[in-house]
């Protein structure tokens, strides 16, 4: 591959690297592109007397071709162990409805759902406050640095959210911030941020996290408390010999839950709900991971 002509521009190199990583997770591709762009731009900055093509011809010899870098990233990703299987790995054979009890994705998703409400409030308030202040502040001189700070904070919050998503949902997200072009004016950097679709998709994601967080938190809280109430309450009633279940509209059902078999049935229903809740959490985690991947990953 080294016999082939080196890419003449950084953009061409990144395009080749993106094609070489086709099929990999977007988070891995984003990290590879950011690392390559930062390294190549640094080489160009340290050799101002050479053309971009000349610098790239030398840099490729030391850094590697796009195909070589892609292979290194794939190999490096395969060696990283974690609680979740890699996307490239073949899924394990389905073990049935009750196998979810040993699936780390279900517990990670349930934890994410519980954290979604407080983090969603923070993201929403920060985003709305920043947007509402950034627009009128442009009438004043301090509006420019404020806009840079706010857009930078959105990028950082998106990165932090990506780390949370990867840690709890097992979706490979970028592990470093995208490279920024050096030597640009403040106006050029603001214009680049405003023209970047990921700026607006990240803002949309941060705003969506509040309504989604309310739904996730409610489902998780009810999903945890209901089985606990059924199992714990039935167990207490069995021990004390007094049932607190009252269904006056259905006399035979009310009588059933005042007997030992009826209380055991309630405990069985509560135990079954645990598996239902874990499956629900796993499904929500998978769906939210796809949303986060599409809105937060910049390629």
> Which pLDDT tens digit goes with each residue over 66-121?
999 999 888 888 777 566 665 555 555 557 888 999 999 999 999 999 999 999 99
Q: Which two tokens stand for residue 287?
A: 């769906």
> Which pLDDT tens digit goes with each residue over 119-152?
999 999 999 999 998 888 777 777 778 888 888 8
Average pLDDT, the chain: 84
Q: Find out whether 298 and 241 touch, Cβ atoms under 8 Å.
A: no
Cβ neighbours of residue 257 under 8 Å, at least 6 residues apart? 243, 245, 247, 263, 265, 266
> Does residue 171 carry a pLDDT above 80?
yes
> Which pLDDT tens digit goes with each residue over 16-40?
999 999 988 888 998 899 888 888 8
> Does residue 45 carry a pLDDT above 70?
yes
Write down the pLDDT at residue 262.
Answer: 81
């Amino acid at each position: 591959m080294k016999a082939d002509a080196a890419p003449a521009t950084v953009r061409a190199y990144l395009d080749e690297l993106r094609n070489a990583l086709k099929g990999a997770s977007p988070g891995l591709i984003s990290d590879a592109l950011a690392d390559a762009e930062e390294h190549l731009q640094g080489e160009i900055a340290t050799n101002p007397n050479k053309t971009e093509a000349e610098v790239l011809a030398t840099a490729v010899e030391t850094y590697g071709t796009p195909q070589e870098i892609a292979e290194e990233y794939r190999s490096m990703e395969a060696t990283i162990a974690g609680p979740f299987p890699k996307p490239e790995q073949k899924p394990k054979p389905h073990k049935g409805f009750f196998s979810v009890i040993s699936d780390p994705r279900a517990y990670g998703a349930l934890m994410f759902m519980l954290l979604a409400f407080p983090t969603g409030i923070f993201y929403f308030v920060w985003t709305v406050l920043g947007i509402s202040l950034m627009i009128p502040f442009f009438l004043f001189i301090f509006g420019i640095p404020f806009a840079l700070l706010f857009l930078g904070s959105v990028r950082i919050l998106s990165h932090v959210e990506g780390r949370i998503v990867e840690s709890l949902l097992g979706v490979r997200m970028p592990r470093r911030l995208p490279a920024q072009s050096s030597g640009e004016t403040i106006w050029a950097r603001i214009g680049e941020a405003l023209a970047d679709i990921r700026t607006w998709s990240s803002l949309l994601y941060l705003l969506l996290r509040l309504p989604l967080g309310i739904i996730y938190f409610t489902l998780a809280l009810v999903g945890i408390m209901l089985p606990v109430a059924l199992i714990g309450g039935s167990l207490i009633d069995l021990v004390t010999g007094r049932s607190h279940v009252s269904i006056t509209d259905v006399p035979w059902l009310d009588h059933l839950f005042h007997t030992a078999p009826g209380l055991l049935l309630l405990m069985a229903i509560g135990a079954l709900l645990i598996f239902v809740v874990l499956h629900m959490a796993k499904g929500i985690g998978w769906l939210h991971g796809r949303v986060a991947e599409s809105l937060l990953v910049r390629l």
